[in-house]
Structure 1
Amino acid sequence: MFSLCAKKANQIFMNKFCFLLSGLMISCTFLVRAQEGKSFPLDQLPTVKLPVFKKDTLNIVRYGAVNDGLTLNTRSINSAIRDCSQKGGGVVLVPQGIWLTGPIELKSNVNLHLAKNSLLQFTKDFDQYPLVEGNWEGLPQMRNQSPIWASNEQNIAITGDGIIDGGGDAWRMVKKDKLTASQWKALTASGGIVNEEKKMWYPSEKTVKGASLKDPGLISSDKTAGFYASVKDFLRPNLLVLNSCKQILLEGVTFQNSPAWNLHPLMCEDLTVRKVYAKNPWYAQNGDGIDVESCKNVLIEDSTFDVGDDGICIKSGRDAAGRKRGKPTENVMVRNCTVYHAHGGFVIGSEMSGGARNIFVTDCTFIGTDIGLRFKTTRGRGGVVENIYARNINMKDIAAEAILFDMYYAAVDPVPLQGEKRTAPKAELLPVTEETPVFRNFHISNVLCDGASKAVFIRGLPELSITGVYLENLVIQAKTGIDIQEAKDVQMNRIKLLVDQSKPLVYIQNGKDIAFKGLDFPKAELLFSINGPNNSKITVKDAALTRASFRSEFSQGADSKSLVILK
């Protein structure tokens, strides 16, 4: 009996392995096609200007900086940067060692260069970070001054082989369910406050107060300086904020342990991010890797992200404030990047009210992210996301969806924590207004995913479908297959699925002009489940029909004529 079971298990494993291997070989063939530029409009690829610096070098030691990890070097470092800028620019050198500091302001024509074996450590003394008018999640808000910042500067850089540590563990609240028992015990023993439910740790009373209020940092005339001071600890800064700057280079440096987001370029032009490592613990609340917001002409390449929230994220402001700003993130190239833990590998949204367009993602690997390619928004945002291209994407061990389009984003973690219960949003038809977001014209090709909860999820709004999604050459191993809701003009060519639960392999609710050409799978109990009264022109050609026990079922008012299966 044992040998028979073992033999059967081995056969199942070999079948899966051969299926994925054949898919990999097919993907390699398709890769050659994609490299010819068919899936990327080559005339639209962004051109990004690099900064240029004088060779003159100023060492922060000359300005009194002390390498002992104890002396606060804020004045020395800022003096060196100001002096360098005033003399026409050059390099400000941070030598090897541990340099404790408060906020640092970058200035035009200065390259802040961190030598190998250097650690720029930002102090955990909150008094060193004054409250300033800033921006948080797409809205004007009062925040603590960011550890590194610049406003309206140009020709600036942070380069080298050193490490920049934001001291974020002193700022962040932490969920118990994201720690091991030993970690939770050590954290609570260090001080701070645990809530009544014993599920959340807060660094201070001011953090607790801020967390209990809705948008406490939102700038309004009824809030006094005293009020903001009473919730100061809750208003966590992003580690690096560059506001309205031009010709920027971030290269080689490790940015880690950010209080909130790690890297936040806002309304910048000509940004190059190259060979950086953005690192946060996976439990880091709002611990994004990079959030490119309302920027133009951006290159992110050869970089690694291992963080607590979204890895590489595109934003453009939130709701009415984002629409009023009216600056899309546009002309962006992301290539040769690796994302480990993150809520999403590559992400657009959910604060995308100013729009996003002409975004290109190529030759990236996502390992252990909650979602692979993640496009999210919600009613109230408005904005148009269009002309998005992704190709040659490898994924492994994706906790939720490999590819996700969702217009019902609810500001929760993609994967529910243990014991957490969620209900699907109520579908209701609302009027189309300026607050209605638009997703259109997405091209995704050559995706290989070894392990996900769901292969593809597309969920639009009843009043405005997601339009123009073109998926080609996908090989995905997942628990479940494809789920399409409220979408039109969706084309899926050469899709290969290996799923554990194939009832159904493809679920469609109110889909129009949905076309499958080349749908391959080892077996399926039910191939298509068509739901809702608003389905039309769903066509299937070159599918492995003989491997499905049942081809289709129709419910919730769906018409059987909406599906046409061709041999």
Structure 2
Amino acid sequence: MRLDKIKMSVSLLVFTVSLSSCYYKKVDPWDKMIEVYEQIVPPTFPDKNYVITDYYDGKDSLYTKAINQAITECSVQGGGKVIIPKGIYPTAPIRLKSNVNLHLADSAVLKFTTDYNLFDTVRTRLEGIDCYNISPLIYAYEEVNIAITGNGIMDGQADRSNWFCDERIRGVVQKDGKHTNEKTLLYEMKEDSVPFDKRVFSGKSSIRPQFINLYKCKNILLEGFTINRAPFWLIHPLLSENVTIRKVKMQSHGYNNDGCDPESCNNVLIEDCDFDTGDDCIAIKSGRDEDGRFWNIPSENIIVRNCRMKDGHAGVAIGSEVTGGCRNVWVENCRMDSPELDRIIRIKSNAIRGGEVENLFVRNIFVGECKESILGIEMKYWRVEKGPYLPYFHNIYLENIISKKSQYVLHLDGFEDKTQIQDIFIKDCVFDGVGESTINRIIGADNIRFENVKVNGKMYK
């Protein structure tokens, strides 16, 4: 594990040095995006089919055993496609394995149980903190060449009538009378430096799981399907590389329902997807506080393009668990439009989480309307004013953005006595419907440049 980590860090360092040097050599950073794009290659699979109904004995009300048996046999036999045919299939969590394409046929529905007694306990990371928790609805660990494809639907059945939502949010009353919840207990374990293998949440004492969590995997394809009613984050690639997420519809408005959260990942393509979510549509992350500093692996080389974002806290966010850093992110040709979409681009952290975010390039974005700002930056996230690890965000480029309505163009909330936000360039943009009293709200930022930018019909300087 340590050797892999060193190799990954060296390769990322080499690429970052070459990308940073492009600014001084006047090389178009979008040419660098093409280089990254060509490195992201979806996996392919043998032409062999395993239909889950062939493994179902009719004795169980759930298809879990049949699905996992088909996946295991497919993987052992060298790989292929595990087919979920037309119909509705109740199931407990599914474990994906190497060289398997889990394919949902048209009109196929995977309906996941909410009975926590049927969830195994696995190692994962929740909001940037390492722990053991009940299994995500679809989970893979250290697998290679995996996919979920097809036009079917995956339904997590999380709503306010079951523990996936209300019970985990309201919290439980401990023996000492303290009203808390399991996620708060995890935060406390992290603060108290409780060892990773002692942070165990299972059964009724578990934390709401991710829908899809692919942990330390390589060569991933997610394509075509629809996700709704997720208990937590919808798609969470973690410490993974070579990830393609294409034509996925993410429709879920529960608590913490981020659409896609690549965390400490390298070479990720998110394209032609639809987001309508209860939290950030896309949130790029890299670990939280000491856990993030232990791994110290950034998210890097991430491309978002041709996507459509509706409701959410941000169209594309970086953070707030970004302790390991993030660099080289490209966002282009997206449409973001909803009165319930707070921000278009959002970067967030604080002086306890820290993290460096650099080289963010955004172009060709149409904004019908958003609630707050085109670019929002928060360095005091969750009202944390002080700490030893100051975040640093720089080299941010916005180009050819057309927006019809927002409160601000820039809402940059940095530190009043420090300039940890630097080098923001806005070019060839048109921002209409901006609040007349304050176009920008800027604290603790330096070197902000506007070129050929119109705000409310007038050239802005």
Q: Aligned partners of 1:378 and 1:364: how far apart in 2?
A: 28
Q: What is the count of residue pairs matched by the alignment?
A: 420
Q: Aligned partners of 2:196 and 2:364: how far apart in 1?
A: 49
Q: Aligned partners of 2:49 and 2:200: how far apart in 1?
A: 44
| TM-score in terms of structure 2 length | 0.84
Confirm whether residue 272 of structure 1 aligns to residue 264 of structure 2. Answer: no
Residue matched to 1:61: 53
Q: Aligned partners of 1:57 and 1:270: how far apart in 2?
A: 24
Q: Is the 8 A contact 2:186 2:199 kept in 1?
A: no
Residue matched to 2:452: 494
Q: Is the 8 A contact 1:209 1:231 kept in 2?
A: no
Q: 1:452 aligns with which of 385, 390, 406?
A: 406
Q: 1:398 aligns with which of 370, 383, 408?
A: 370
Residue matched to 1:112: 102
Residue matched to 1:484: 442
5+ long unaligned stretches in structure 1: 1-36, 175-191, 194-200, 412-424, 500-518, 522-539, 541-567
SS of equivalent residue, structure 1 residue 291 = coil
Residue matched to 2:295: 325
**1:349-374 alpha-carbon deviations (Å, 9 max, x no partner):** 11111111111000011111111111
Q: 1:210 aligns with which of 163, 181, 185?
A: 181
**1:283-306 alpha-carbon deviations (Å, 9 max, x no partner):** x11010000100001111000010
Q: Aligned partners of 2:268 and 2:57: how far apart in 1?
A: 34
Backbone CA RMSD of aligned residues: 2.8
Match runs of 1:90-109 below 5 Å: 90-109=80-99
Residues 39 and 455 of structure 1, relative CA distance in 2, 3 Å threshold? farther
**1:100-134 alpha-carbon deviations (Å, 9 max, x no partner):** 11110101100000000000010111111133332
Q: Is the 8 A contact 1:106 1:156 kept in 2?
A: yes
Confirm whether residue 41 of structure 1 aligns to residue 30 of structure 2. Answer: yes
Match runs of 1:304-343 below 5 Å: 304-343=274-313
Residues 121 and 204 of structure 1, relative CA distance in 2, 3 Å threshold? farther
**1:236-291 alpha-carbon deviations (Å, 9 max, x no partner):** 1000000010100000011221111000000111000000001102xx11010000
Confirm whether residue 257 of structure 1 aligns to residue 215 of structure 2. Answer: no
Residue matched to 1:472: 427
SS of equivalent residue, structure 2 residue 262 = strand
Confirm whether residue 367 of structure 1 aligns to residue 323 of structure 2. Answer: no
**Could you tell which deviates more after superposition, 80-89 or 121-130?**
121-130
SS of equivalent residue, structure 1 residue 370 = strand
Match runs of 1:70-469 below 5 Å: 71-169=61-159, 170-173=162-165, 202=170, 209-210=180-181, 213-215=184-186, 218=189, 228=201, 232-233=205-206, 235-281=207-253, 284-368=254-338, 369-410=341-382, 433=388, 435-461=389-415, 462-469=417-424
Residues 117 and 209 of structure 1, relative CA distance in 2, 3 Å threshold? same
Residues 306 and 227 of structure 1, relative CA distance in 2, 3 Å threshold? closer
Residues 341 and 246 of structure 1, relative CA distance in 2, 3 Å threshold? same
What is the CA-CA distance between 1:475 and the residue it aligns to? 1.4
Residues 157 and 117 of structure 1, relative CA distance in 2, 3 Å threshold? same
Residue matched to 1:520: 459
Q: Is the 8 A contact 1:60 1:76 kept in 2?
A: yes
Q: Is the 8 A contact 1:74 1:102 kept in 2?
A: yes
Q: Is the 8 A contact 2:131 2:196 kept in 1?
A: no
Q: Is the 8 A contact 1:459 1:466 kept in 2?
A: no
Residue matched to 1:514: none
What is the CA-CA distance between 1:49 and the residue it aligns to? 1.8
Residues 397 and 230 of structure 1, relative CA distance in 2, 3 Å threshold? same
* Identity among equivalent pairs (%): 35
SS of equivalent residue, structure 1 residue 359 = strand
Residue matched to 1:558: none
What is the CA-CA distance between 1:203 and the residue it aligns to? 8.9
What is the CA-CA distance between 1:228 and the residue it aligns to? 4.2
Residues 106 and 226 of structure 1, relative CA distance in 2, 3 Å threshold? closer
Residues 95 and 294 of structure 1, relative CA distance in 2, 3 Å threshold? same
**Could you tell which deviates more after superposition, 378-387 or 272-281?**
378-387
Residues 268 and 495 of structure 1, relative CA distance in 2, 3 Å threshold? same
Paired amino acid for 1:78: N
5+ long unaligned stretches in structure 2: 1-25
Q: Aligned partners of 1:217 and 1:129: how far apart in 2?
A: 24
Residues 345 and 155 of structure 1, relative CA distance in 2, 3 Å threshold? same
**1:157-181 alpha-carbon deviations (Å, 9 max, x no partner):** 000010111122233445xxxxxxx
Paired amino acid for 1:56: K
| TM-score in terms of structure 1 length | 0.69
Confirm whether residue 50 of structure 1 aligns to residue 6 of structure 2. Answer: no
What is the CA-CA distance between 1:93 and the residue it aligns to? 0.3
Paired amino acid for 1:478: V
Residues 226 and 471 of structure 1, relative CA distance in 2, 3 Å threshold? closer
Paired amino acid for 1:120: L
What is the CA-CA distance between 1:216 and the residue it aligns to? 6.1
What is the CA-CA distance between 1:205 and the residue it aligns to? 7.2
Paired amino acid for 1:492: F
SS of equivalent residue, structure 1 residue 364 = strand
Residues 441 and 65 of structure 1, relative CA distance in 2, 3 Å threshold? farther
Q: Is the 8 A contact 1:141 1:217 kept in 2?
A: no
What is the CA-CA distance between 1:218 and the residue it aligns to? 4.0
Q: Aligned partners of 2:373 and 2:380: how far apart in 1?
A: 15
